[in-house]
Amino acid sequence: MNHEKILINGAWETDPSEASFTPENPATGEELDRSYPVSSKATLARLASHAANAAKALNHCDPEQIAAFLDNHASNIDSRREEISSLCHRETGLPTKPRLQQVEMDRTVDQLRQAAACARDRSWCQPRIDTKLDLRSVYEPLGGGVLVIGPNNFPLAYNGIAGGDFAAAIAARNPVIAKAHPLHPGTTKMLAECAHDAAKQAGLPAGSVQMFYNCEPEDGLSLIRMPEISAVGFTGSRPAGLSMKQAADETGTPIYLELSSVNPMFLLPGAIEERGEDIADLIADSMLAASGQQCTCPGLLIVRDSHATDHLIGRLRSRLAGAPHQVMLSSGGVRHLHESVQAIEALGADRLIGGAPVEGNAARYEHTLLRTEADHFLANSDEMQNEMFGVAALIIVCDRDEQLIECARSLEGNLTGTLHLASDTRDDELARAVSAVLRNRVGRLIHDAVPTGVSVNAATVHGGPFPATGHPGFTAVGMPTTIHRFAALRCYDRVRGAFLPPELQDTPPTPSMRRMIDGVWRTGIVERA
């Protein structure tokens, strides 16, 4: 069986490695008909070297070229949406319609076009000019390659060569080395073909967009340590992310991690009394989306003990028990979910439903609800808030209001935290007390909704305190803020005008570009008194 080629320095090459892997169809357990190379450290070093050379050229690249590339890439993907979605379905088990062909494909294309608009306008780089002191600062490219490693669960919108991290890094004029996820390498190759064609159309340097499929973990850590790598974007498991962070810290390389999150939901007494069944339905729909394999799925439900709460739990249990078991991303994912569920059960949680793999060749797992009392959770909170990546949640039952606050205080960092309040004011006092604690533990605070469904817009924050991410000051979603992760803030002190970058010269490069001039954000030229 011939291995698929990697994209290196503007060309498709046969990887000399003898090691390879073949992905499986999670719906059948059968191997697919393509083989992919496991790249060696020497190949990774070549990728890094070519990225460093491309970075020098991209430093002086017209942002209009970058915008053209991103727009072309989006159009290329859009024109192949059926073909890409079909293969992606076979590799991941995710539904072709509407999930892949409409929902995720639309998001992927939209992100690229938003990044193109930011590159074209240039306001993302936030130029600041102080005319009195003749000081000027601006966000600029990092000067080296950005390694982007996408996850298994969003094969399009988070893909290393088409997703949000990729779009942000390119918009900042950095070359990208994309690592495919081994669960969907064929999908990534198709997206890389779209990117390669778009790069040629836009006239980008040869090493601007490169892609390999897999490597040994230690070789991947070596790539992160290479001086040609200026930043890393990673979405995936906590153990893998922490090992990458350790490697990046050895060389001072910025690394932006999106790791695990249990996304606690506090269902307050008045809300449960008022609309408990509706809340249960909302949560069930959120848990069932994408087989529970989303980083924003609700994994902890914190409630007050009452008859209304018992009814809500019964409704949620019934909804999950009656829903068909969906195909998960891999048999390995089923195994990991089972281990996570068993670990929390071993700590004393009671199983209400589920808790076992579904028999058969397909990668499926029973929808699972666990329950524990607040006192028991608080005594074991470190272990009991570990992520169960699938349709699984732990219900924490409190016997007094203060325990909801104590539960909030015990939480690690999360991407989201949700409160459901009564429509009148009866829950407001408790909501304020919980929120005061929860606010510093989550990136996105939500009222009366569910955490799944992340809007791609400028106000979105898809981030949070550790271990949800590696830094609470950044977001993985939302142009233009997300671009700043892959840019360097640099200052020009009394530098002559002819030596300034276009964004800092007295006349801006685009009429729409906003700059802070003497403390005021505005468009237009620099006017001196």
Query: Which are the catalytic amino acids?
Result: 258, 295
The alpha helices in 158-297, defined as continuous H runs, are 164-171, 185-202, 217-225, 238-251, 269-288
User: What single-letter DSSP state applies at residue 463?
Assistant: -
CB atoms < 10 A from the CB of 29, how many?
13
Q: Cα–Cα distances in Å, from 424 out to 266, 297, 418, 419, 450? A: 17, 27, 18, 14, 20
What whole-number distance in Å separates Cα of residue 336 and Cα of residue 389? 8
How many degrees, rounded to 5, is the angle at CA 145 between CA 34 and CA 129? 145
DSSP letter string, 124-167: GG--EEETTTTEEEEEE--SSEEEEE--SS-TTTT-TTTSHHHH
CA neighbor of 66 nearest in space, from 509, 420, 524, 499: 509
Beta strands in 374-518 (DSSP E): 392-398, 414-420, 442-447, 488-493, 515-517
Q: Say whether 321 sits in a helix, a strand or coil.
A: helix
For the record, the structure tokens of 3 come out as: 């291995």
* Residue found under tokens 């490693």: 149
For the record, the structure tokens of 383 come out as: 């272990």
For the record, the structure tokens of 307 come out as: 């008859």
Phi/psi-derived region of residue 519, left when phi > 0, alpha when psi is between -120 and 50, beta in every other case:
left
What whole-number distance in Å separates Cα of residue 329 and Cα of residue 153? 7
